[in-house]
């Protein structure tokens, strides 16, 4: 099944689930489509070590815009 807007690709991995949520919110506020993947989204969230890592995925055609949003931190 193909997506009309283009495929999602991994942008970055963040070790803190809360920081990942904030980063995703910043990207969405900039109009970027975001998906988050990680072990901490199940019924038993894991927040230790590599299992706490959250991957942030964006559409392939939005990678440059997303990178600009992430590098423009205040």
pTM for this predicted structure: 0.81
> What was the pLDDT predicted at 45?
66
The single residue listed with the structure tokens 């959250």 is 54
What structural domains does the chain harbor? 8-71 (3.30.70.1530)
> What was the pLDDT predicted at 47?
66
Number of Cα atoms under 13 Å in the Cβ half of residue 21: 6
* Angle between helices 17-29 and 63-71 in degrees, nearest 10: 120
Give residue-wise pLDDT tens across range 14-63.
988 889 999 999 999 999 999 999 877 767 666 666 777 999 999 999 99
Nearest by Cα to 31 from 3, 4, 13, 5 = 5
- Tell me if 56 sits within 8 A of 28, measured CB to CB: no
């Amino acid at each position: 099944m193909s997506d009309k807007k283009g495929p999602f690709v991994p942008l970055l991995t963040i070790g803190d689930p809360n920081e990942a949520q904030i980063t995703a919110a910043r990207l969405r506020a900039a109009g970027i489509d975001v998906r988050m993947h990680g072990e901490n989204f199940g019924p038993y969230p894991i927040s230790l070590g590599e299992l706490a890592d959250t991957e942030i995925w964006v559409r392939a055609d939005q990678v440059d815009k997303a990178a600009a949003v992430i590098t423009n931190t205040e």
